């Protein structure tokens, strides 16, 4: 028995394009298709990343859901920020010296000293700054702890003011603050 003649003979393998009567694709056309597919996949990936970032930013701005609340974006808070949760509200200041200074009382936070002066300066930053944690407060006593200068220094390098100067004066019960609206209005 002959092994080669034992089975049916298969037709020779022919390229798909040739079977249907089409000429084989040119090498240049194949390269062009590959490049087009690569560009399309890069563009789709970039669009996906942009969409994911936009979705993440939108999710960060959402308000916590309460019973019966709709799924809308929370409004961005505006100054004064001392009404936000976790902050101590302070009284409204008054304009002094043709409006280029603000002055206002502060709640009692302790006896006169470095800790009370720092806490008082942080209360003022909490009212005017959306993110008061971006500032480090340095305290310099001018007349003992009766008059104090507080310097809030910006910790990062953004376009916000690099420092804010506050003058604190002891009133017998708490500190009273004086500051410039130009510095406070943009932190």
Partners of 168 in beta bridges: 148, 177
Against a cut of 0.75, is the pTM above it? no
User: Would 68 be classed as within a structural domain?
Assistant: no
Domain containing 175: what range?
Answer: 94-184
Q: In terms of domains, do 48 and 121 share one? A: no
One digit per residue, pLDDT tens: the chain, 187 residues?
Answer: 555 556 666 666 655 555 566 666 676 777 888 888 888 888 888 777 777 777 766 655 554 544 445 445 556 667 788 888 889 999 999 998 777 899 999 999 999 999 999 999 999 999 998 888 889 999 998 888 999 999 999 888 776 668 899 999 999 999 999 999 888 887 7
What DSSP string runs through 62-119?
A: BPPP-TT--S-BPPPP-S--TTSTT----PPPEEETTTTEEEEE----SSSSHHHHHH
Enter the DSSP assignment of 58: H
User: Would 55 be classed as within a structural domain?
Assistant: yes
Count of domains forming the chain? 2
Q: In terms of domains, do 98 and 36 share one? A: no
Q: In terms of domains, do 107 and 155 share one? A: yes
Q: In terms of domains, do 179 and 98 share one? A: yes
User: Would 9 be classed as within a structural domain?
Assistant: no
Q: In terms of domains, do 131 and 176 share one? A: yes
User: Would 5 be classed as within a structural domain?
Assistant: no
Structure-block tokens of residue 113: 């000293």
């Amino acid at each position: 028995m002959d092994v080669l003649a034992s089975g049916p003979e298969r037709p020779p393998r022919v390229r798909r394009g040739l079977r249907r009567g089409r000429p084989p694709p040119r090498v240049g056309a194949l390269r062009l298709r590959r490049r087009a597919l690569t560009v399309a996949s890069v563009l789709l990936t970039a669009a996906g990343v942009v969409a994911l970032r936009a979705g993440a930013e939108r999710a960060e701005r959402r308000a916590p859901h309460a019973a019966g609340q709709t799924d809308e974006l929370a409004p961005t808070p505006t100054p004064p920020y001392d009404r936000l949760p976790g902050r101590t509200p302070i009284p409204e200041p008054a304009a002094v010296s043709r409006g280029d200074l603000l002055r206002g009382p502060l709640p009692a936070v302790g006896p006169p000293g470095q800790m009370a002066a720092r806490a008082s300066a942080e209360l003022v930053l909490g009212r005017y700054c959306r993110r008061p944690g971006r500032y480090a407060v340095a305290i310099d006593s001018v007349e003992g702890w009766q008059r104090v200068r507080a310097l809030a220094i910006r910790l990062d390098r953004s376009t916000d003011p690099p420092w804010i100067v506050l003058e604190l004066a002891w009133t017998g019960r708490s500190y009273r603050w004086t500051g410039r609206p130009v510095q406070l209005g943009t932190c």
